[in-house]
Amino acid sequence: MSDTGETADLADAGVVELSRLLHAGEVSALDVAQACIERIEACDGGLNAMVRFDPQVGLAQARAADRRRAAGEAHPLLGIPYTAKDNIWVAGLGCTQGSLRFEHFRAPADAQAVAALRAAGAVFLGHTNCSEFACKGVTTNLLYGVTRNPWHPQLTPGGSSGGAASATAAGYAPLALATDAGGSTRRPAAHTGVVGFKPSAGLIPHALGHAEPVYGNSVIGQMTRSAADLRPVLRTLALDAPDDPQWRPHDVRERLAQTDAAPRLRIGYSPRLGLGHAVDPDVQQALERTAQALQALGHEVIACDPAWPADTSEEALMPLQWAGLAELHGPAWQAGEWTADPDIAAQIEKGLALAGSAVTAALRLREALHRSLSAYWTQVDVMLTPTTAATAWPWTQPGPATIEGRPASPRAHAVFTPLFNHVGVPALSLPCGLDAAGLPIGVQLVAPRFADAMLVALAETLEARLPRLPRPARPG
């Protein structure tokens, strides 16, 4: 099935545009859902972004949304389609985390974010693929196979939320729920030309769901077609949760309701994050153009890196993930209860062999990172970095073979995102252009904790100054 004309336009529209059309009565929720379903049916044989997709469920929810609108409801997300990553609970449905261990698991309840979208009348279209336990930088697993990038079928969309990214970029739905424990929302968004947002820790409650390996790091992230689309989504999902140990009283919802442009800000320009990271030249140039665009908007761009602790690296923090995997899954893996992805099995083995002192050292480093970044915010209001050190690479490899002409370790592409999970601050990846091969590049904006509304407002004004990316040449 191929989509053409009006249905194709609806499938490619964003949250804000669809909300306007629905509110004006120019289209129905059923029209929108049918357009998205046609796109999924046309493309997913090539992309493999969806792992759980029942068109009848989406159509039934769309009809219900139309009835609610006819009865006078007018929530901005009423009738808006969305997908959820396959580690986010939807009551009664499977939710495998990309693992054979959970092949037959059924979610006993909605995750809080899903419950909020259900109450708003959003239309759930299905679950998207992820790497096993969301702990790998490419999206492939032994249960559902490889997810491909709509910009090039031999390339990965990254991970672990590659299914969400490919689905959003290909027009399956204007909104995707994902998770982000080290960049899993932001990096795949950068590799596929969409917006990826990691909210402040504690902004969106997510106690109902699978236990996360990296305790305290993971948040419910969002992918959209524009930064403006984030505003109604976050206003819906930013719920009070006094029982969440990461929650704090905040005014994010109120600030999101304000439509004023971001004030003049001090932008800390940190092209290598102060850690000497290799960055491909096309990414460097796109970052420089973004800094110039911010200056043109009236912001003060300051070359300024955080003063990180001397031992700062992702590798020094990885014992937290390895220990978490070992605690949650080690005994079952040792008992041979399921076949794990070899990379995940290796991480579990590392966790089982860890000394407690390695975990304590990582926790102490996390505290030191927090102090360093707190000092940084006295100098600047927002940080600007690359989202990834390179653009997308073949899905058969864990990462690019080289970055900036140097041999690259498997995680060298991912170095710009994880530190911000460890300190709980919001971070956003914004598409900013294409590399010489025509692949998307993303830049990352980072702000202090619970400055999410300021970050969204800045991204809204900035995206109008950045190149508008073409639609990917999706399969089908």
pLDDT in tens, 112-168: 999 999 999 999 999 999 999 999 999 999 999 999 999 999 999 999 999 999 999
Each residue of 40-72: pLDDT tens digit? 999 999 999 999 999 999 999 999 999 999 999
Catalytic residue among 85, 136, 226, 429: 85
Element (H, E) at 146: strand 145-146
pLDDT value of position 259: 80
Considering 131, 161, 166, 184, which one is annotated as catalytic?
A: 184
Distances (CA, A) of 335 to 105, 246, 273, 353: 19, 34, 42, 16
User: pLDDT (tens digit, 9 = 90+) per residue, 312-332?
Assistant: 999 999 999 999 999 999 999
Catalytically annotated residue among 160, 161, 270, 429: 160
Q: Mind listing the pLDDT tens digit for each residue in 434-446?
A: 999 999 999 999 9
320 part of a folded domain = no
Residue 346 covered by a domain: no
CATH number, domain with residue 363:
3.90.1300.10
Report yes or no on 406 lying in a domain. Answer: yes
Q: Within a domain: residue 424?
A: yes
Residue 177 lies in a domain: yes
**Residue 164, domain member (yes or no):** yes
Q: Is 409 a catalytic residue?
A: no
The DSSP result for 233-269, as a single string, is: HHHHH----TTSTT-----HHHHHH--PPP---EEEE
CA dihedral (408, 184, 344, 112) in degrees, to 10, reads: 170
pTM of the predicted structure, to 2 decimals:
0.97
Is residue 160 among the annotated active site residues?
Answer: yes
With respect to residue 336, please indicate whether it lies within any of the assigned structural domains: no
Residue in the structure block whose two tokens are 């970044």: 373
Decide if 263 is inside a domain: yes
Q: How many domains does the structure of the chain reveal?
A: 1
Residue 399, domain extent:
10-313+359-464
The DSSP-derived string for 153-189 is TTB---SSSHHHHHHHHHTS-SEEEEEESSSTTHHHH
CB 337 within 8 A of CB 231: no
Buried b / exposed e along 159-181 (16+ C-beta atoms within 10 A): bbbbbbbbbbbbbbbbbbbbbbb
The pLDDT tens digits of the residues spanning 340-353 come to 999 999 999 999 99
